[in-house]
Amino acid sequence: MSFDNTIAVIDYHMGNLRSVGKAFQKIGARAVITNEHQAIKNADKIVLPGVGAFKEGMEKLKQLNLIDILNREVIENKKKFLGICLGMQLTGTRSYEIEESSGLNWIKGDVVRFEGNNLKIPHVGWNEISFVRSNALFENIPDQTDFYFVHSYHFKPDMKYIVSLTNYGFDFVSSVNQENIFGCQFHPEKSQRYGLEILKNFVNLKNDR
């Protein structure tokens, strides 16, 4: 299978870029790992992956002068965007990891730490998602499919943005969608068959331009 559009995977020095790039390559998509403004402008869709601390992630985006170009391409030009793990959390309003830090504020909500005496932190491994509503990103994905997670914090957006929940002592948000902005707390690039299916669905989404 091959696709006609190009995916910009944003390189802001925050983890798992190679595995994301290889996953897109595996499904026949053209993905470029980049932090060059022209390449981001030329891309049809944008992916923000990431592993690590929220505040450091925002600082890296600022240091590389990526916030303005991302705002322009995603918010103004309405390119389809997928945030993965930390990349999803950065779309939020703020995080309370270490200290309060501001996010991109594309999806209203806060990022908070898992709490519970019996919970192992970080939440690592396979866990199932339960859909709150249907969504194009999850076409052909059965409800209660397992995906791979690695995180200590979780996103708490307004209910209207939630696509799926996952239980880890309590129900937390595992995917979101606000217009052209999509996010997964889990790692589709590490989630085998159905993870690749999500990436295919993302590549096939039509930009509203």
**Catalytic site positions:** 85, 187, 189
Any idea what the Cα angle at residue 171 is, between residues 88 and 199, rounded to 5°?
35
Identify whether the C-beta of residue 23 lies closer than 8 Å to the C-beta of residue 196: yes
Long-range contacts of 95-103 (CB under 8 A, 24+ apart): 95/54, 95/55, 95/153, 97/53, 97/54, 97/55, 97/152, 97/153, 98/53, 98/55, 99/55, 101/54, 101/55, 101/58, 102/58, 103/54, 103/58
Spatial separation of the C-alpha atoms in residues 85 and 177, rounded to whole Å: 14
Cβ-contact 169, 127 below 8 angstroms: no
Q: Is the N-terminal amide bond of 122 cis, ω within 30° of 0?
A: yes
